[in-house]
Chain A
Amino acid sequence: MSTRTVAVTARTVPGTGRARRRRGVGRRVVGGFLYSLGLPFLLLVLWGVLSTSSTNRFFPGPVAIAESFIDTWVGAAFVEDVLPSLYRLALGILASIVLGVAAGTLIGLFGWLRELLEPLLEFFRAIPPPVLIPVVMLLLGITDTMKVVVIVSGALWPVLLNTIDGVRAIDSVMSETAESFQVTWWERLWFLVLPSASPRIMAGVRQSLSVALILMVISEMFASSAGLGYRIAYFQRNYLIAEMWSGILLLGLVGVLLAVTFGVVERRVLRWYHGIREVNRA
């Protein structure tokens, strides 16, 4: 993560030799890419070599898993199981962020609201979301909505709590500046409160992503007939070991995809933040 931010912030500093710097950045990105893939590749080779002598049927070799990965997920299963799962995951993450930031901003801005809601928030946050699945299932039926609600019930908290903290921590001089220039409430929200809280909000979003992925899988393991979580559970119960491993592999890849997407968005949103840190370090 740290090497990535350095590469990006170097580009945001204006000045001469920008083209040369960009080419340097390009080389560094490609170099970093190869570097970060080196260890996984090495482990794969090691695994392949070691597993040739293994007879344990619960741990098939990488080649067998790769073959079953293609057989299982490329084709109809991608449309029937993977896409709906990803769709619900995306919806759940989006809803968590929107709800968390909106509610967190209000709670952070108004002290009386915070005092009113704090005990309640502590209580709901402490409930492990999977135990809600039967309840939500009764209320909403076995629907997409139920699965999205389960995802949100867990992924909401990191965004919400971080937003509250971020909004509360706004610098007093920055607020006074806005006040003295009579900046309107909406302008203050958009140009002061949200940007100022954005580093904390992004930290919350990062935590939410992993929670959301876990809950996506779990929400599909109960009383479901499609989806990534359902497939993996099905393979487990039917001793389709290589297929099961290929599902786990796919989940890992989804996680990596999420992290990469987050990294791109984060670098755009927090360019100023990384820029300041870069300047202070120099």
Chain B
Amino acid sequence: MPDRDVLLQVEHLRKVYESATGDVEAIGDVSFTMDAGELLCVVGPSGCGKTTLLKCLAGLLRPTSGRVEMHGAPVTGPSPAMAVVFQEYGRSLYPWLTVRGNVELPLRHKRLSSAARGKLVADALDAVGLGHAARSHPWQLSGGMQQRVAIARAVAYQPEVLIMDEPFAAVDAQTRADLEDLVRELHTSRNMSIVFVTHDIDESIYLGERVLVLSRSPTWVQEDLTVDLPPGRDQINTRALPRFTQLRTHVYDQIQRAKRGQAVAP
């Protein structure tokens, strides 16, 4: 699509963990591009190196070979254009800081007036529906609310792309549906580019405009699927669409094949 900017470009990414007991090839050969303003979901069987891929994207891990480019410039370390939401919200938020303190922390080194900083924090907390909890501590909140704080922290950082690593794996089903709608809301109303890593097939189709299905380790992209569902989604109607069921069955089959190792690398 020439009318959209390419945001992220991943070329022949490979990651090998070296250890005394032998090398482990986590990622074999992954290539894909992502446009600005896209919501891209990444699914794969468990242990397929999803988190490794995400850490390479975020500049937290150096790939063994291949490259990650953002707007054509190689990513060599953490960048202000990216913000990560980790799966373990309990270990990612700092319990000694208040909710506001947590959201504000990454903004401290950005040269902002305190008024501008305060506005960003308040705006981000409002966006996740936690404006009232700014003075609480994270451990006084429920799991879902804590993950909202982590999302607010990433939103306030004003990244070009939000990278989410199985962010809702540890919350209950109802909270999860609410948080999924929050992510859709951030994507549509703020036009945020989001890479969403998950092991949940339904979630990937409900959220994504594109789904990357990964093979089992050593990983490659087994399928790059466009989700042709209407952009306005809601938990009841979207999930009841025949197309939703078709896509889910398709991705499910792909994952089963990936698990059995039946799919053949290109």
Interface assignment of B108: CB less than 8 Å from any CB of chain A: yes
- State A272–B139 Cα separation when bound (angstroms): 8
Interface assignment of A174: CB less than 8 Å from any CB of chain B: yes
On B, residues with C-beta under 8 Å from A are 58-60, 78-80, 82-84, 86, 88, 91-92, 94-97, 105-106, 108-109, 135-137, 139-140, 153, 157
- B94 close to A174 (CB less than 8 A): yes
- State A90–B86 Cα separation when bound (angstroms): 44
On A, residues with C-beta under 8 Å from B are 13-14, 171-174, 176-177, 179-184, 187, 191-192, 195-196, 198, 272-273, 275-276, 279
Q: Taking the nearest CB of chain B, how far is it from the CB of A244, in angstroms?
A: 46
> What are 13 A-to-B residue pairs whose CB atoms are below 8 Å?
A13-B140, A14-B135, A173-B88, A176-B84, A177-B86, A179-B60, A180-B60, A181-B83, A182-B109, A183-B108, A191-B97, A276-B139, A279-B140
- A174 close to B92 (CB less than 8 A): yes
Chain B at the A interface: SS class: loop
Which B residue's beta carbon lies closest to that of A188?
B105
- Neighbouring B residues of A172 by C-beta, 8 Å: 91
Q: Taking the nearest CB of chain A, how far is it from the CB of B183, in angstroms?
A: 18
- A173 close to B86 (CB less than 8 A): yes
Tally of A-B residue pairs with Cβ under 8 A?
A: 72
Chain A at the B interface: SS class: helix
- A180 close to B137 (CB less than 8 A): no
Closest 7 CB pairs of A and B: A181-B106, A173-B91, A195-B96, A272-B96, A180-B84, A276-B139, A177-B92
Most interface-central of A174, A177, A184 (chain B CB within 10 A): A177
- B157 close to A181 (CB less than 8 A): yes
- B94 close to A191 (CB less than 8 A): yes
The contact of B140 among A176, A184, A192, A275, by CB within 8 Å, is A275
- A14 close to B140 (CB less than 8 A): yes
Q: Taking the nearest CB of chain B, how far is it from the CB of A80, in angstroms?
A: 44
- Neighbouring A residues of B59 by C-beta, 8 Å: 180
The contact of B82 among A14, A180, A273, by CB within 8 Å, is A180
- State A172–B86 Cα separation when bound (angstroms): 12
The contact of B109 among A14, A173, A187, by CB within 8 Å, is A187
- State A272–B78 Cα separation when bound (angstroms): 29
- Neighbouring B residues of A171 by C-beta, 8 Å: 91
- State A118–B229 Cα separation when bound (angstroms): 62
- Neighbouring A residues of B80 by C-beta, 8 Å: 182
A14-B140, A191-B97, A275-B140 are contacts. A182–B91 as well, Cβ < 8 Å?
no
- State A132–B82 Cα separation when bound (angstroms): 56
- B95 close to A272 (CB less than 8 A): yes
- A279 close to B139 (CB less than 8 A): yes
- State A180–B84 Cα separation when bound (angstroms): 7
- B84 close to A183 (CB less than 8 A): no
- State A69–B239 Cα separation when bound (angstroms): 82
- A173 close to B78 (CB less than 8 A): no
- A181 close to B105 (CB less than 8 A): yes
Q: Taking the nearest CB of chain B, how far is it from the CB of A185, in angstroms?
A: 10
- State A116–B257 Cα separation when bound (angstroms): 53
- State A171–B78 Cα separation when bound (angstroms): 19
- Neighbouring B residues of A174 by C-beta, 8 Å: 91-92, 94
- B91 close to A180 (CB less than 8 A): no
- Neighbouring A residues of B84 by C-beta, 8 Å: 176-177, 180
- A180 close to B58 (CB less than 8 A): yes
- A176 close to B86 (CB less than 8 A): yes
A171-B91, A272-B139 are contacts. A182–B86 as well, Cβ < 8 Å?
no
- Neighbouring B residues of A275 by C-beta, 8 Å: 95, 137, 139-140
- Neighbouring B residues of A184 by C-beta, 8 Å: 108-109
- A173 close to B96 (CB less than 8 A): no
The contact of B106 among A13, A176, A183, A195, by CB within 8 Å, is A183
- Neighbouring A residues of B157 by C-beta, 8 Å: 181
Which B residue's beta carbon lies closest to that of A278?
B139
- State A181–B157 Cα separation when bound (angstroms): 8
